[in-house]
Chains A and B, each alone.
Chain A
Amino acid sequence: MHLQAKRLSKLALSPVLMLLSMLGTAAWAEEAQRWQTNLTPGVTELGAKIYDLHMTVFWICVWIGVVVFGLMFYSILTHRKSLGAKPADFHESTSVEIAWTVVPFIILIVIAFPATKTLLEVYDTDDADLDVMITGYQWKWKYEYIDPNGDNVSFFSNLRTGKTEIYNEDAKGQHYLLEVDEPMVLPVNKKVRFLVTANDVIHAWWVPALAVKRDAIPGFINETWTKATQTGIYRGQCAELCGKDHGYMPIVVNVVEEAEYKNWLNEKKSQAAEIKALMSKNFSLDEQMAAGKEVYDKSCAACHGANGEGGVGKAIAKSPIATGALATHLDVGVNGVPGTAMQAFGGQINDVEMAAVITYQRNAFGNNMGDVVQPIDVYNFKQGK
C-alpha cells in the first residue's frame, strides 16, 4: 500500500512531467524544480538583476577557467618527461607578474560597478506600500501586517507536513516540507517592506523567487523589501541554523491581485474582531470543554498525550498544576516553563482559545475541578490584574 503510494508519487515526479513544467517559466520561478542547477531570476526586478550579475560573474569565471585550465592541461599533455621534454630554466619575469596582477584587478573593478549598483538597490527600503513584520520563532514564523491605524493583523505560519510523511510512514506530498498551515499573502506589484526580527535565536527568512534573505535577530529589527511582479505561490525556508527543527520552518508566500489581497486582509480583520467580541462573552462549562478539546488536540496533545497521560510534556491527568491554583496554571499556559519544551503559548493561541484549553485541562482526564475560565480572565491575567 505504502509502496504503491510511493511509486505513484514517483510517477508524478517523472522527469518528463518535470521537464514540461520547467518549460513554463512561471512554474520555474515558483519553487525549485527537480534537477534545477541554477539560481532562479525569480519574480522581482531586483531578483532578475541579481541573477544577471550572477550569470555575468559566472561566465567571466568560466572564460578565465577555460584559459587557465587550457594552459594547464596543454602543459600537462605536452611538457612531459615521457615525451622527451627538457625543462626550461626560466623562473621569473617581472612584466608577466605585473600583467597577471593588473589584469585581474581590472576585471574586478569592472564587476564592482554593477555589484555596487545592485547592492544599493537591495538596501533601498524607502517608499514601501506595505510593511510586514516577520518574527522568527523556534520553529515557526509570525507575520504581522502593520496597519497605519493600529489595526494590525498577525498570525503564525507553521509547517503543515505531517510527522508520518517525515518519518516515511506515508508517501511524501508534492510540497513536502515546503507547505504551511497559513501562508503570507502579499499584493502583486506593490513594494513590501519586511521588518525582520526573532523571538529566541537567530533565524533567516529566505524566499529565492522574491530575492529576499535577511537574518532575523532577537532584539534587533532588520529591514528588507520585495516587489513581486507575478502572482503565484513562492516557497522558501529558514536559512540560519536555529536548533532542532531548523529544517522544518518553511516559508510560503502567496502573491495575489490587489483586490484579492484586500479581501483576505479584511477577512483576517473581521476574524480578529470576532475574537474580540468573544472576549466579553461568558461561556458555560460545556461550551468551554468542547472548544477546549479542539485546542488541546491541536496544540497540546502532541506532548501531553490525547488522554492527558503525558509524553514529552508532563501528564495533565492529576497534574498538581492543573488541579492546583488557577493563576499558576494560567502562568504555565501563558508563559511556558523556561528551559523546557513547554513554550509560552500566550503569544501563539488567543485568549479565547487559552481560556477554553485551560478549562479543558482542569476538568478533563478526571481532574474535575469544576471551574470555568473565561477569556477575560486570561486577558486580566496577562495584564497582571
Chain B
Amino acid sequence: MSAHHGPAKGFTRWLTTTNHKDIGTMYLWFSFAMFILGGAFAMVIRAELFQPGIQIVDPEFFNQMTTMHGLVMVFGAIMPAFVGLANWLIPMMIGAPDMALPRMNNWSFWILPPTFLMLASTLFMDGGAPNYGWTFYAPLSTTYAPPSVTYFIFAIHLMGLSSIMGSINIIATVVNMRAPGMTYMKMPLFVWTWLITAFLLVAVMPVLAACVTMMLMDIHFGTSFFSAAGGGDPVLFQHIFWFFGHPEVYIIILPAFGVVSQIIPTFARKPLFGYDSMVYATASIAFLSFIVWVHHMYTVGIPVAGELFFMYATMLIAVPTGVKVFNWITTMWQGAMTFETPMLFCLGFVFLFTIGGFTGVMLSLAPVDFQYHDSYFVVAHFHYVMVAGAVFSMSAAVYYWLPKWTGKMYDEGMGKAHFWISFIGFNLTFFPQHFLGLAGMPRRIPDYALQFSDFNMMSSIGAFIYGASQLLFLFNVLRTILAGKPAPAEKAWEGAEGLEWTLPSPAPYHTFTTPPNVK
C-alpha cells in the first residue's frame, strides 16, 4: 500500500483525517471518555445518596452533579457513541468508500472535545457548573442561574452544530452512496434506523438551539421570553425544550434498535423477522415522537383537552414499539442460538428495555402520572430505556464489531463477566428506584426521609458495581487491541450477514473503492 493511501503519521493523522474509520474511532473513544466522566458524576450522586443526611457534597454541588451527569451522558456519551458507530459501519454496510462529506465529518467530530472541555470547565468557575438539571427549566436556568450558564448555552449550540453536521452527512451518504442493487428496502436495519434518526436530529436540533438562544436573550439582552413578569411564560420554555427533548429520546434509542436488529439474527442464525414492519415501525415511532412532548409536562396545567390528546398519542407509541419487541423475539424463535457476549447484551436489552416500555405505558396515563411525575419512578423508567437500552446495545455493538475493527478477538470470558456484572449492577441500581418513586421520593434531592434509606443504599451499591464493571469493559477492549488473538479472516461470527463481513479483518483503511454488487 502506498503512503498516499494509508493514514498519515502521528497526531496529524487524527487531527486532519477525513477517513470514516478514523473519525468513527475517535467518536467512540471520545464517547467512552465522556461515559466515564458522566459515570464519575453518577458515582458522586450515589455516594451522597448512600445514606440520609449530607455526607460528601453539599446540596449546591449535588445539583451540579445531577445536571452534569445528564448533560454529559446524553450529549457527550450516548449520542457521539452512535455517531461513531454510524461512521464506522454505514459506509461498510452500504458498500460505500467513505462518508459523503468527509471534511465536514472531521469538523463535526473536532467540535466536540473543546465543547465538552468548556462545559467541564464550568465546574471550576465562580458560582459553579450548571445546577438546574439537564432539562434546564427557566427561570431556574435564566434569572436564577450561575454565571456559567452562558458557557453552557454556547456548549449546547456547538453540540447542536456537530449533531446537525453529522446527521446531514449520514443522510447524504445513505441517499447517494449505496452500492448498486442496495435498494432502500435492502439496507441493513442499522442504516435505516440511523437514516430516520438523522432526519429527527436535523428537525429538532435547531429547536434546541432556538431554546437556548431565547435563554441567552433573556439573560443578557433584557428580553422576557420565559419570564412572566415581562409578559413571557416559563411554560413556553418547557414546550420548546420537550419539542426537542422527546424526539431526542428516540434519537438515542432508534440506533440502538438498529444495533439489536443486526445482532440478534446473527446469533439466532436466522434472518430478522418482519424486516418491512421493522422499518415501518421505526418510521411511525419517529413520527409519533413529534406529537407527544407534553407527556413530560402533564402537571404544568395544560387544559384537559390538550392533556387528553397527548395522552392518547403517547399511549399509541406502545404499538410500534411492541411490534419491534415481538419481531426480535420471533427472530430468536426456532433459531439455533448461541450466547456470545454481544448476544447476551442484546438479550439483556430486549428484556430490560421492555420493562422500561411497560413503565412507559404506565407513565403515559396522565391521571396516574400526577403521582409518578418527577419521582424516582421516572428516574427508574428512563434509565431502563437509556442504560439498558442505549448503553447495553452500545456494549453489544462494540463486542460484535470489534473483531472487524481491530482484526483481534476480545476475551469471551471477560466479556461475559462484563455482561453479568453489568446486568446485576444495573438492576440492583435501578429496580429499587421504582419502589422509591412509588413510595414518594422526588428526584433530584440530595437528602431524603428515613423511610427511603434501605432502597437508596441498595441502589448505591448497585451503582458502584455497575460503574466498576465498565472498567472491566475498558480493560477487555484495550487488551484486545494490544494483545488480542487474531480474529477469523472475514466473518467473526458464524451467522453474520451483510457487506461489512465480506471485508477482511481488520477492515483496511479504504474499503469499497469499487462498489460491490448487491444481489
In the complex, chain A residues whose CB is within 8 Å of the CB of B316? 108
Confirm or deny: A32 has a beta carbon within 8 angstroms of a beta carbon on chain B: yes
Contact, CB under 8 Å: B355 / A92: no
User: Closest Cβ of chain B: how far from A94's Cβ, in Å?
Assistant: 9
What CA separation (Å) do A366 and B452 show in the bound complex? 48
A residues 228-249 near B (Cβ < 8 Å) are 236-248
Contact, CB under 8 Å: A39 / B448: no
B3-11, B82-90, B298-306: which lies at the interface? B298-306
User: Closest Cβ of chain B: how far from A54's Cβ, in Å?
Assistant: 5
Contact, CB under 8 Å: A33 / B445: no
B251-259, B370-378, B408-416, B460-468: which lies at the interface? B370-378
What CA separation (Å) do A37 and B431 show in the bound complex? 11
B residues 305-329 near A (Cβ < 8 Å) are 307-308, 311-312, 315-316, 318-319, 322-323, 325-326, 329
What CA separation (Å) do A80 and B332 show in the bound complex? 10
What CA separation (Å) do A101 and B434 show in the bound complex? 28
Confirm or deny: B435 has a beta carbon within 8 angstroms of a beta carbon on chain A: yes
A81 contacts which of B269, B308, B354 (Cβ < 8 Å)? B269
Contact, CB under 8 Å: A57 / B234: no
Contact, CB under 8 Å: A72 / B275: no
Q: What is the size, in residues, of chain B's interface with A at 8 Å between Cβ atoms? A: 95
In the complex, chain A residues whose CB is within 8 Å of the CB of B373? 204, 213, 239
Confirm or deny: B229 has a beta carbon within 8 angstroms of a beta carbon on chain A: yes
What CA separation (Å) do A223 and B323 show in the bound complex? 39
Contact, CB under 8 Å: B60 / A81: no
Nearest A-chain residue to B132, judged by Cβ: A241
User: Closest Cβ of chain A: how far from B267's Cβ, in Å?
Assistant: 9
Contact, CB under 8 Å: A123 / B140: no
Confirm or deny: B483 has a beta carbon within 8 angstroms of a beta carbon on chain A: no
Confirm or deny: A380 has a beta carbon within 8 angstroms of a beta carbon on chain B: no
What CA separation (Å) do A33 and B450 show in the bound complex? 9
Contact, CB under 8 Å: B234 / A219: yes
Confirm or deny: B210 has a beta carbon within 8 angstroms of a beta carbon on chain A: no
Confirm or deny: A13 has a beta carbon within 8 angstroms of a beta carbon on chain B: yes
What CA separation (Å) do A217 and B235 show in the bound complex? 8
Confirm or deny: B366 has a beta carbon within 8 angstroms of a beta carbon on chain A: yes
Contact, CB under 8 Å: B336 / A53: no
Nearest B-chain residue to A197, judged by Cβ: B228
B329 contacts which of A71, A116, A219 (Cβ < 8 Å)? A71
Confirm or deny: A85 has a beta carbon within 8 angstroms of a beta carbon on chain B: yes
Interface centre among B268, B272, B445 (most CB of A within 10 A): B445
A171-179, A264-272, A296-304, A310-318: which lies at the interface? A171-179
A residues 12-55 near B (Cβ < 8 Å) are 13, 31-40, 49-50, 53-54
Contact, CB under 8 Å: B59 / A50: no
Confirm or deny: A89 has a beta carbon within 8 angstroms of a beta carbon on chain B: yes
Contact, CB under 8 Å: B337 / A79: yes
What CA separation (Å) do A101 and B322 show in the bound complex? 8
In the complex, chain A residues whose CB is within 8 Å of the CB of B451? 31-34, 36
Nearest A-chain residue to B358, judged by Cβ: A61
Contact, CB under 8 Å: A91 / B371: no
B439 contacts which of A13, A37, A69 (Cβ < 8 Å)? A37
A residues 111-133 near B (Cβ < 8 Å) are 111-112, 115-116, 118-123
What CA separation (Å) do A220 and B331 show in the bound complex? 52
Contact, CB under 8 Å: A200 / B450: no
User: Closest Cβ of chain B: how far from A106's Cβ, in Å?
Assistant: 10
Contact, CB under 8 Å: A115 / B365: yes
B18-26, B49-57, B158-166: which lies at the interface? B49-57
Confirm or deny: A211 has a beta carbon within 8 angstroms of a beta carbon on chain B: yes
What CA separation (Å) do A357 and B53 show in the bound complex? 33
User: Closest Cβ of chain A: how far from B268's Cβ, in Å?
Assistant: 7
Q: A87-B270, A97-B277, A176-B449 are in contact. Are A111 and B365 (CB under 8 A)?
A: yes
Nearest A-chain residue to B133, judged by Cβ: A241
Q: A87-B270, A165-B53, A168-B55 are in contact. Are A72 and B139 (CB under 8 A)?
A: no
Confirm or deny: B512 has a beta carbon within 8 angstroms of a beta carbon on chain A: no
Contact, CB under 8 Å: B444 / A50: no
Contact, CB under 8 Å: B60 / A244: yes
Confirm or deny: B233 has a beta carbon within 8 angstroms of a beta carbon on chain A: yes
In the complex, chain A residues whose CB is within 8 Å of the CB of B184? none
Contact, CB under 8 Å: A65 / B301: no
Confirm or deny: B181 has a beta carbon within 8 angstroms of a beta carbon on chain A: no
Nearest B-chain residue to A179, judged by Cβ: B449
Q: A32-B449, A35-B454, A176-B52 are in contact. Are A85 and B438 (CB under 8 A)?
A: no
Q: A201-B144, A215-B301, A218-B234 are in contact. Are A87 and B361 (CB under 8 A)?
A: no
User: Closest Cβ of chain B: how far from A8's Cβ, in Å?
Assistant: 13
What CA separation (Å) do A325 and B235 show in the bound complex? 42
Contact, CB under 8 Å: A211 / B370: yes
In the complex, chain B residues whose CB is within 8 Å of the CB of A75? 329, 332-335, 337
Confirm or deny: A145 has a beta carbon within 8 angstroms of a beta carbon on chain B: no
Nearest A-chain residue to B367, judged by Cβ: A118
Nearest B-chain residue to A92, judged by Cβ: B274
Contact, CB under 8 Å: A200 / B454: no
Confirm or deny: A58 has a beta carbon within 8 angstroms of a beta carbon on chain B: yes
Contact, CB under 8 Å: A33 / B374: no
Contact, CB under 8 Å: B438 / A39: yes
Confirm or deny: B347 has a beta carbon within 8 angstroms of a beta carbon on chain A: yes
Contact, CB under 8 Å: B63 / A178: no
User: Closest Cβ of chain A: how far from B100's Cβ, in Å?
Assistant: 31
Q: A68-B329, A79-B337, A214-B301 are in contact. Are A246 and B139 (CB under 8 A)?
A: no
Confirm or deny: B1 has a beta carbon within 8 angstroms of a beta carbon on chain A: no
What CA separation (Å) do A119 and B365 show in the bound complex? 9
Contact, CB under 8 Å: B301 / A92: no
Contact, CB under 8 Å: A214 / B299: yes
B residues 404-422 near A (Cβ < 8 Å) are none
User: Closest Cβ of chain B: how far from A83's Cβ, in Å?
Assistant: 9
Contact, CB under 8 Å: B440 / A72: no
Contact, CB under 8 Å: B308 / A111: no
A residues 147-205 near B (Cβ < 8 Å) are 165-168, 172, 174-178, 200-202, 204
Contact, CB under 8 Å: A37 / B435: yes
Contact, CB under 8 Å: B269 / A32: no
Q: Mark B331-346, 1 if CB is under 8 A from A, else 0.
A: 1111111110000000
Q: Mark B208-239, 1 if CB is under 8 A from A, else 0.
A: 00000000000000000001110001110000
A91 contacts which of B228, B272, B434, B441 (Cβ < 8 Å)? B272
What CA separation (Å) do A86 and B370 show in the bound complex? 50
In the complex, chain A residues whose CB is within 8 Å of the CB of B330? 96
Confirm or deny: B185 has a beta carbon within 8 angstroms of a beta carbon on chain A: no
B residues 265-291 near A (Cβ < 8 Å) are 268-277
Q: A32-B449, A172-B52, A246-B444 are in contact. Are A104 and B322 (CB under 8 A)?
A: yes
Confirm or deny: A206 has a beta carbon within 8 angstroms of a beta carbon on chain B: yes
Confirm or deny: B504 has a beta carbon within 8 angstroms of a beta carbon on chain A: no
Nearest B-chain residue to A100, judged by Cβ: B326
In the complex, chain B residues whose CB is within 8 Å of the CB of A123? 304, 307
Contact, CB under 8 Å: B333 / A105: no
Q: A34-B454, A85-B335, A244-B63 are in contact. Are A219 and B269 (CB under 8 A)?
A: no
Contacts A/B (CB < 8 Å), 9 sampled? A38-B438, A54-B362, A81-B336, A88-B334, A97-B277, A166-B54, A217-B235, A220-B228, A240-B374
Q: What 5 pairs across the A-B complex have the smallest Cβ distances?
A: A219-B228, A247-B445, A36-B439, A118-B367, A88-B334
Q: List residues of chain B with CB under 8 Å of any chain A CB.
A: 52-55, 59-60, 63, 131-133, 137, 139-140, 143-144, 227-229, 233-235, 268-277, 299-301, 304, 307-308, 311-312, 315-316, 318-319, 322-323, 325-326, 329-339, 347, 350-351, 354-355, 358, 361-362, 365-368, 370-371, 373-375, 434-435, 438-455
